[in-house]
């Protein structure tokens, strides 16, 4: 677990704000994401303006609680997060998250550069995100193919897109899950990512199989036709079908 640990555990607000801007990565959706530098080196500074804070808190919990749940979810799924921390002093204003910068190599190399067995493990762990936290699951819209990068120091895939966007896992009065739309969108996004990261048909099939074995646990809570249909998209991949073939079938 790398959230709020290592050199970032004691990161101060002064250090975060006094750092010199080297590059601006994004100014969209109420966030300012910058590469900054001080005497200790370079790091990424993510500042969340009110628009972005509202988006994070739409699950009904404060930003800090969403951040904690986000870390617990990925830890429970066996996924690594880049060294980072939420600066607690900023929660009453515009929250700031600081994160390790992996360098140009880390930015350019994503899961597609991993060995086949590492890709299969990554796909299986991503499938666990649907059930790794009792109350929340990831928001699929923030889970794009470039959400992961390769840490040059370990040659492992780590999550670098650390915006804590979540969906709540709710139940109706009968105890059944009412998250089929969110879970289905996540499954479809998982299939798209697998197709993007796989270097060949065999890798795609193996990754989809690993994803289905773990993501399929979500069907124990909700077996609606909507969710089964989205699960089938990746399941067909696990049986060797390509995205082009699935498109011809209407997926």
> Which of residues 31 and 9 earns the better pLDDT score?
31
In tens, the pLDDT along 94-137 reads 999 999 988 766 667 789 999 999 999 999 999 999 999 989 98
Most distant CA pair in the chain: distance in Å? 57
d(CA 47, CA 200): 38
Beta-bridge partner residues of 96: 47
Specify the 3-state DSSP secondary structure of 126: helix
Output the pLDDT for position 146: 83
Residue 49 has pLDDT above 90, yes or no: yes
pLDDT band at 249 (very low <50, low <70, confident <90, very high): confident
In tens, the pLDDT along 185-194 reads 888 899 999 9
The pLDDT of 75-90, averaged and rounded, is 92
How many CA atoms does the CB half-sphere of 158 hold within 13 Å? 24
How much of the chain exceeds pLDDT 90, in percent? Answer: 55
Which run of H or E residues covers position 150? strand 148-151
> Which of residues 48 and 134 earns the better pLDDT score?
48
d(CA 133, CA 153): 29
> Which of residues 186 and 50 earns the better pLDDT score?
50
Q: How many CB atoms are located within 10 Å of the residue 42 CB? A: 16
Output the pLDDT for position 124: 96
Spell out the domain ranges in the chain: 6-100, 110-248
Specify the 3-state DSSP secondary structure of 29: coil
Pairing of strands 166-168, 136-138: antiparallel
Alpha helices of the chain — where are they, by DSSP H? 13-18, 50-56, 63-76, 103-108, 116-128, 180-197, 201-215, 225-238, 243-248
Closest to 188 measured CA to CA, from 196, 177, 199, 178:
196
- Cβ-contact 191, 104 below 8 angstroms: no
pTM value > 0.85: yes
Least confident residue range of 137-141, 142-146, 190-194, 211-215? 142-146
Output the pLDDT for position 106: 62
How many CA atoms does the CB half-sphere of 225 hold within 13 Å? 0
d(CA 65, CA 68): 5
Closest to 12 measured CA to CA, from 101, 98, 100, 102:
98
List, in order, residues 6 or more apart from 192 with CB less than 8 Å away.
145, 243
The CATH number of domain 6-100 is 3.30.200: yes
Helix crossing, 201-215 with 225-238: angle to 10°? 150
Output the pLDDT for position 127: 94
Average pLDDT, the chain: 86
Closest to 99 measured CA to CA, from 167, 28, 25, 154:
25
Least confident residue range of 30-44, 97-111, 149-163? 97-111
In tens, the pLDDT along 219-237 reads 776 666 777 888 898 999 9
Output the pLDDT for position 22: 96
How much of the chain exceeds pLDDT 70, in percent? Answer: 88
Looking at residue 39, the DSSP 8-state letter turns out to be T
């Amino acid at each position: 677990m790398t959230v709020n640990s290592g050199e970032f555990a004691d990161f101060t607000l002064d250090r975060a704000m006094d750092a010199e801007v080297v590059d601006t990565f994004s100014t969209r959706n109420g966030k300012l994401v910058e590469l900054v530098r001080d005497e200790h080196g370079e790091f990424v500074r993510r500042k969340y303006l009110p628009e972005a804070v509202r988006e994070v808190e739409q699950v009904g919990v404060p930003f800090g609680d969403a951040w904690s749940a986000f870390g617990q979810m990925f830890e429970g799924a066996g996924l690594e997060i880049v060294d980072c921390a939420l600066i607690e002093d900023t929660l009453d204003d515009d929250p700031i998250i600081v994160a390790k910068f992996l360098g140009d190599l880390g930015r350019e190399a994503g899961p597609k550069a991993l060995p086949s067995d590492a890709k299969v493990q990554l796909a299986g762990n991503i499938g666990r995100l649907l059930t790794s936290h009792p109350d929340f699951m990831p928001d699929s819209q923030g889970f794009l193919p470039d959400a992961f990068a390769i840490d040059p120091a370990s040659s492992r895939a780590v999550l670098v897109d650390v915006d804590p966007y979540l969906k709540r896992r709710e139940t109706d009065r009968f105890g059944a899950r009412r998250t089929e739309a969110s879970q289905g969108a996540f499954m479809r996004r998982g299939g798209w990512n697998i197709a993007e990261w796989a270097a060949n048909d065999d890798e795609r099939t193996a990754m989809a199989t690993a994803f289905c074995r773990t993501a399929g646990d979500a069907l124990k809570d909700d077996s609606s036709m909507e969710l089964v249909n989205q699960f089938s998209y990746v399941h067909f991949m696990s049986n060797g079908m390509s995205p082009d073939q699935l498109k011809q079938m209407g997926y």
